[in-house]
Structure 1
Amino acid sequence: MKLSRKAATGAAALIIVASVAGCSSTAASTNELSFVTDKSWDFEKFSAVSEDDMDVALDPAYYADQNAFQAFIKQSFRSNKAPGLFTWHTGSSLEDLVAEGLVAETTEIWEKAVADGNVSESVKDLYTIDGAQYCTPISVDDWVMYYDKRTFADLGLEVPTTWDEMMTTADTLVDAGVAPFWNSGGNPWAFVWFQILTAGTDVDLYNDLVAGDAKFTDPEVVEVMNVWLDMKEKGYFTDPGSKTPAETQIKDQEVAMIPFGTWYSSTLDTVGLESGKDWGVFPIPNVNPDQDVVPVATETAPVCVPESSAQKDLGLEYSEWWMGATAQTAWSEQQGNLPFNPKATAGTEEFQAIGEEYTDPKYVFYLRYYEAAPAPILTASLDEFTGFMTNPGDPMPYLEGIQRVADEYWSEH
Structure 2
Amino acid sequence: MSSKRLRVTALTLGALLIATGCGSGGDSGAKTSELKLYNDKGAWKPFFEQMGTLGKEQTGLGMKPVGYTDEPTYTAFIKTSFRTKVKPDLFTWTTGGRLQEIVKQNQVADTSQLWQDAIKSGDLSADLQKYYTVGGKQYCVPLQTGYWGMFYNKKIFAKYGLKPPTTWAELDTLARTLKAKGQVPFNHTTPTSLFSFAWFEQLLAGSDPDLYERLSTGQASYTDPGVVKAMERWKSMIDSGWFSNPGDKADPADHFKSGDAAMVISGTWFNTSMTQRGLKQGEDYGFFFIPNVEPSLPKTSLVFESGPLCSLRKAPDKEASMKYLKWWITPGAQEKWANMRGDVSSDPKVKVADPELDKVSKQAASDKNRLVLRYFEAAPAPVLTEALSGFDKFLNKPDTYMKVLQSIQKVNEEYWKTHKAGS
Relative to the length of structure 2, the TM-score reads 0.87
The equivalences for 1:161-200 within 5 A come to 161-183=166-188, 187-200=193-206
Equivalent-residue separation in structure 1 for 2:332 and 2:404 (angstroms): 47
Preserved CA contact (<8 Å) 1:295 1:366: yes
1:293 aligns with 2:293: no
Aligned residue for 1:7? none
Residues paired across the two proteins, number: 402
Aligned residue for 2:21? 18
1:238 aligns with 2:244: yes
Single out whichever of 130-139 and 175-184 deviates more from structure 2: 175-184
Preserved CA contact (<8 Å) 1:87 1:303: yes
1:311 aligns with 2:317: yes
Q: CA deviation at 1:50?
A: 1.6
Aligned residue for 1:264? 270
Preserved CA contact (<8 Å) 2:111 2:138: yes
Q: CA deviation at 1:309?
A: 2.2
TM-aligned CA distance change 1:66 to 1:280, over 3 Å: closer
TM-aligned CA distance change 1:242 to 1:124, over 3 Å: same
**2:104 pairs with 99, 102, 106, which one?**
99
Q: CA deviation at 1:384?
A: 2.8
Q: Which amino acid aligns with 1:108?
A: Q
1:89 aligns with 2:94: yes
The equivalences for 1:323-338 within 5 A come to 323-338=329-344
Q: CA deviation at 1:68?
A: 5.3
Q: CA deviation at 1:79?
A: 5.6
Equivalent-residue separation in structure 2 for 1:26 and 1:378 (angstroms): 33
Q: CA deviation at 1:16?
A: 5.5
Q: Which amino acid aligns with 1:38?
A: D
1:365 aligns with 2:368: no
% of aligned pairs identical?
37
**1:54 pairs with 56, 59, 81, which one?**
59
TM-aligned CA distance change 1:244 to 1:131, over 3 Å: same
TM-aligned CA distance change 1:106 to 1:290, over 3 Å: same
Q: Deviations over 1:17-52 (max 9, x none)?
A: 333345x77995454334333331222211111222
Q: CA deviation at 1:175?
A: 1.6
TM-aligned CA distance change 1:85 to 1:382, over 3 Å: closer
**1:341 pairs with 320, 323, 347, which one?**
347
Single out whichever of 116-125 and 328-337 deviates more from structure 2: 116-125
1:156 aligns with 2:161: yes
Q: CA deviation at 1:395?
A: 3.8
Single out whichever of 36-45 and 212-221 deviates more from structure 2: 36-45
Preserved CA contact (<8 Å) 1:186 1:382: no
**Partner-residue secondary structure (3-state), 1:160:** coil
TM-aligned CA distance change 1:220 to 1:244, over 3 Å: same
Equivalent-residue separation in structure 2 for 1:243 and 1:64 (angstroms): 14
Single out whichever of 340-349 and 352-361 deviates more from structure 2: 340-349
Preserved CA contact (<8 Å) 2:24 2:89: no
Q: Deviations over 1:196-253 (max 9, x none)?
A: 0000111111111122111111111122222222322333222222223221222121
TM-aligned CA distance change 1:26 to 1:32, over 3 Å: farther
Preserved CA contact (<8 Å) 1:17 1:72: no
TM-aligned CA distance change 1:309 to 1:250, over 3 Å: closer
Equivalent-residue separation in structure 2 for 1:195 and 1:303 (angstroms): 24
Aligned residue for 2:115? 110
Equivalent-residue separation in structure 1 for 2:255 and 2:266 (angstroms): 14
TM-aligned CA distance change 1:124 to 1:54, over 3 Å: same
Q: CA deviation at 1:188?
A: 1.2
Aligned residue for 1:141? 146
Q: Deviations over 1:113-148 (max 9, x none)?
A: 223322223321111111111011111121121010
1:411 aligns with 2:413: no
Q: CA deviation at 1:70?
A: 4.0
TM-aligned CA distance change 1:394 to 1:105, over 3 Å: closer
Q: Which amino acid aligns with 1:313?
A: E
Aligned residue for 2:218? 212
Single out whichever of 246-255 and 136-145 deviates more from structure 2: 246-255
Preserved CA contact (<8 Å) 1:35 1:84: yes
Single out whichever of 149-158 and 310-319 deviates more from structure 2: 310-319
Preserved CA contact (<8 Å) 1:183 1:237: yes
Equivalent-residue separation in structure 2 for 1:113 and 1:411 (angstroms): 38
Aligned residue for 1:3? none
Q: CA deviation at 1:320?
A: 2.0
Preserved CA contact (<8 Å) 1:182 1:255: yes
TM-aligned CA distance change 1:180 to 1:117, over 3 Å: same
Preserved CA contact (<8 Å) 1:332 1:347: no
| RMSD (Å) for aligned C-alpha atoms | 2.5
Equivalent-residue separation in structure 1 for 2:329 and 2:18 (angstroms): 32
**1:128 pairs with 117, 120, 133, which one?**
133
Equivalent-residue separation in structure 2 for 1:57 and 1:299 (angstroms): 28
Relative to the length of structure 1, the TM-score reads 0.89
Q: CA deviation at 1:374?
A: 2.0
Single out whichever of 106-115 and 351-360 deviates more from structure 2: 106-115
Q: Deviations over 1:73-131 (max 9, x none)?
A: 34545565433322222222222221122211111211222233222233211111111
Preserved CA contact (<8 Å) 1:329 1:347: no
Equivalent-residue separation in structure 2 for 1:199 and 1:163 (angstroms): 13
Q: Extract unaligned runs of 5+ from structure 2.
A: 1-13
